[in-house]
Amino acid sequence: MTDERGILFILSGPSGVGKGTVRKELFNQETDLRYSISMTTRGMRPGEKEGIDYFFKSNEEFEHLIEQNELLEYAQYVNNYYGTPREYVEQTLADGRDVFLEIEVQGAMQVKKNFAEGVFIFLVPPTLEDLRERIVNRGTESSDLVTNRLGEAKKEIEMMDEYDYIVVNDDVDKAVHKIQSIIESEHCKRERVAKQYKQLLEGKK
């Protein structure tokens, strides 16, 4: 028995945490997930391919997509646009397949507004554990650096409240395994499965 509609998974997290690496490793392994390839205005890096890594667009093309409401979310990151194509996501979910987005935090918050039923996963750096200790032991260190890092940690911790799951990226394989477990658990959720059992018992299936 499977869900009729696919589940939307959103992987996000602070800049530099390794979202791309974790996502690539997740997709290197056998998966039923569909990755939503983003649009971007940034230049192609060596080894990247059009339609595999991104759909590479000019600024004008991207702004046209925004005007036409063709993006589920978009954000500017380091002077470039990044965005998720709406139709691919909606169609794939309607076909009963899970969709996986790997996007930065502003975009993830836009998705949350429009797709509250999505499953939001926040990837955090392993050093957060250290930072947490520093917060607990506040007062023992007083350099500007620690203050800055605490400020950053605080912002990151506050952002966690918006997410359903937190995955520490201490090791790529472990992080991937945790994400796979989250996906499996989401498919076992009573509210997702019970509806189909009810339909079955009512003779509608």
Closest by CA to 7, choosing from 165, 182, 186, is 186
- State in angstroms the smallest separation of the CB of 42 from ligand 5GP: 5
Reading the block at residue 52, the tokens are 């595999």
- 28 to 20, 22, 45: CA distances (angstroms): 12, 10, 20
Question: 102, 123, 178, 179: which one contacts ligand 5GP (CB under 6 A)?
Answer: 102
Residues 15, 106: contact at Cβ < 8 Å? no
Tell me the C-alpha distance between 18 and 10, whole Å: 14
Q: Which is nearer to ligand 5GP, 86 or 177 (CB)?
A: 86
Binding segment for ligand 5GP among 26-34, 78-86, 115-123, 162-170 (CB under 6 A)? 78-86
Question: 5, 24, 42, 192: which one contacts ligand 5GP (CB under 6 A)?
Answer: 42
DSSP code, position 54? B
Q: Which is nearer to ligand 5GP, 135 or 166 (CB)?
A: 166
- State in angstroms the smallest separation of the CB of 16 from ligand 5GP: 8
- Which three-class secondary structure state does DSSP give residue 42? coil
Does residue number 82 form part of the binding site for ligand 5GP (CB under 6 A)?
A: yes
Contacts to ligand 5GP from residues 18-37, by CB under 6 A: 19-20
